């Protein structure tokens, strides 16, 4: 059972802790090491990080450089955060829409110069019937926003409904099996015992006296995305000893018309394989 996380509890108050953390960083001049991101997992594991990384652009890793070089046309940056990738691609001359479910990160994107922003989920944006996108970007581990196998289908259908012919999905996630850390391995095993996917992670972000609500991310091997679509699959991986390995995926979205209505289906979430050294 997840611990209570409401305003009446002795614990942190519910709020946009992640957005407030980004705002503090921005107002403090992006001073490295001044603030710490606290991510709490449902098994009480605490992981720390420097939130300045959400603002930093170049230098890119080989994986990031390869992925970003494939972005083209009109781009939807899903889970844009502080907008580091939106601003980079915008500076390259691409039309970019920065999307995030939290208003504060989107306000930060706007302050930093993002030309087009949207507060809400991909499903919310799809319901507004925007003009089609050529690239869907899910960087920073945002393939995990699919949450679980059922939600992944809904999420991918939302992207497909907004896809231009030949549109691509570029994203990164985590392979939960590429770890030797007993904390992660035990969590994976506990998930399986509860009938969940091994890499289904329940977390919240904390900052000062605030905490986000608990939410799920889905870490999975690239071949598991085949369950959410059809077709071939592939990935590029960077193995890490102590943490789940980062996996970058590049896939093409193709439009299909059903006999009864105009629909778009994801033919293949991941179709191209490239291993970067």
Condensed to tens digits (0 to 9), the pLDDT of residues 120-130 reads 999 999 999 99
Residue 271 lies in a domain: no
Average pLDDT over residues 240-252: 53
Residue 52 lies in a domain: yes
Question: Is the pLDDT assigned to residue 85 strictly greater than 60?
Answer: yes
Q: How confident is the model at residue 11 (pLDDT cuts 50, 70, 90)?
A: confident
pLDDT, position 258:
35
Residue 1 lies in a domain: no
For all residues of the chain together, what is the average pLDDT?
81
Residue 5 lies in a domain: no
pLDDT, position 8:
54
Q: Which domain holds residue 94?
A: 13-265
pLDDT, position 252:
67
Q: How confident is the model at residue 250 (pLDDT cuts 50, 70, 90)?
A: low
Cβ-defined contacts of 109-118 (< 8 Å, 24+): 109/80, 109/82, 109/83, 111/26, 112/26, 112/82, 112/83, 112/87, 113/87, 114/80, 114/83, 114/86, 114/87, 114/90, 115/90, 117/80
Q: Give me the helices (H) in the chain, please.
A: 17-27, 62-69, 84-91, 103-111, 122-127, 149-161, 182-193
Q: Is 273 helix (H, G, I), strand (E, B) or coil?
A: coil
Count of structural domains, the chain = 1
Q: Is 250 helix (H, G, I), strand (E, B) or coil?
A: strand
Are 144 and 151 in contact by the 8 Å Cβ rule? The answer is no
pLDDT digits (tens, 9 = 90+) for 110-146: 999 999 999 999 999 999 999 999 999 999 889 899 8
Residue 272 lies in a domain: no
Average pLDDT over residues 51-80: 89
Question: Is the pLDDT assigned to residue 244 strictly greater than 60?
Answer: no
Whole-angstrom distance, CA of residue 122 vs CA of residue 146: 11
Residue 209 lies in a domain: yes
Residue 98 lies in a domain: yes
- What is the CATH classification number for the domain harbouring 206? 3.40.50.150
Q: What is the pTM of this model?
A: 0.81
Residue 243 lies in a domain: yes
Are 115 and 87 in contact by the 8 Å Cβ rule? The answer is no
- The two tokens of residue 137 are 């970007």
């Amino acid at each position: 059972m997840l611990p209570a996380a409401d305003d009446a509890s002795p614990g942190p108050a519910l709020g946009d802790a992640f957005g407030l953390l980004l705002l503090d960083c921005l107002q403090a001049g992006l001073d490295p090491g001044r603030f710490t991101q606290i991510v709490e997992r449902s098994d009480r594991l605490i992981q720390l990080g420097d939130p300045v990384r959400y603002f930093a652009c170049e230098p890119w890793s080989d994986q990031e450089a390869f992925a970003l070089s494939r972005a083209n046309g009109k781009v939807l940056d899903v889970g844009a955060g502080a907008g580091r990738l939106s601003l980079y691609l915008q500076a390259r001359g691409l039309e970019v829409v920065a999307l995030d479910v939290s208003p504060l990160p989107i306000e930060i994107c706007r302050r930093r110069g993002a030309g087009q922003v949207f507060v809400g989920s991909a499903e919310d944006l799809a319901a507004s019937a925007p003009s089609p996108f050529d690239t869907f970007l899910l960087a920073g581990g945002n393939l995990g926003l699919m949450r679980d196998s059922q939600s992944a289908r809904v999420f991918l259908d939302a992207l497909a409904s907004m896809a231009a012919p030949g549109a691509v999905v570029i994203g990164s996630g985590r392979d939960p099996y590429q770890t030797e850390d007993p904390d992660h391995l035990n969590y994976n095993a506990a998930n399986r015992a509860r009938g969940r996917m091994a890499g289904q992670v329940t977390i919240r972000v904390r900052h000062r006296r605030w905490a986000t609500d608990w939410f799920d991310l889905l870490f999975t091997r690239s071949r598991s995305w085949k369950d959410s679509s059809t077709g071939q699959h592939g990935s590029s991986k960077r193995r890490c000893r102590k943490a789940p390995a980062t996996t970058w995926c590049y896939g093409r979205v193709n439009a299909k018309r059903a006999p009864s209505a105009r629909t778009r289906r994801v033919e293949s979430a991941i179709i191209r394989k490239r291993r970067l050294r």
